[in-house]
Amino acid sequence: MRVIGYLRVSTLGQEYGIEAQRAAIAAEAERCGWQVEWVEDAGRSGKDIDRPGITYALTQLRSGVADALVVSKLDRLSRSLADFARMLETASKQGWGVVAIDLGIDTTTPTGELVANIMAAVSRWERRMIGQRTKEGLAEAKRRGVKVGRPRSVSPEARDRIVQMRREGLSYGAIAKALNDDCVPLPAGGHFWFASSVRSAINNL
């Protein structure tokens, strides 16, 4: 089987981290008889999958050049369970596998696929619970007479950050995730940033 061995560290100069990942994947490749193409994202955050290395890897997988994406640890691929769940859905539709050695996930096997599907289901449940809590919070705020209408503008700090991230090529969804991760407040007491709220903020500049 032809696989892509994906390597990532968050900061440049972490050669040991890269080599440790490479060794773990190489050992598994030798055991399973895989042919490995190495793809590396050095100095790239795991907050989302908007990285050149993973973009290249997904292109290779989609075109059928490789059969599976392999990481030594799941957090090397993404720290977001939602991103991982979406990647599993893409892999299933396009016919390639995902292997995370540390968790024993290998969607090319029935057991590994089961584990991956359970994780994807947990991610979907988590998103629905967040939505439910948001609705309940808004309902309680309305009951108390708090104004919960659409925010008219963003703070100068948030505006400047959004503009800079767009200049760097980040998608609306990636910007929203970065703002939520750093607890950047929405105007008028909003709860969560979404791609639509980022787009609206940019359109209202």
* Domain boundaries 2-119, CATH class: alpha beta
72-119 pLDDT per residue, tens: 988 888 877 777 878 888 898 899 999 999 888 888 887 777 776 776
Answer whether 82's CB lies under 8 Å from 127's CB.
yes
**pLDDT per position as a tens digit, 178-199:** 888 877 777 655 667 888 888 8
Domain boundaries, the chain: 2-119, 143-203
Please give the positions annotated as active site: 10
Could you say which of 1.10.10, 1.10.287, 1.10.3470, 3.90.1310 is the CATH number of the domain covering 143-203?
A: 1.10.10
Beta-ladder partners of 7: 40
Q: Tell me phi and psi for residue 137, to 5 degrees.
A: -65, -40
CB-based contacts of 85, cutoff 8 Å, min separation 6: 119, 120, 123, 124
Angle between helices 195-203 and 172-181 (to 10 degrees): 100
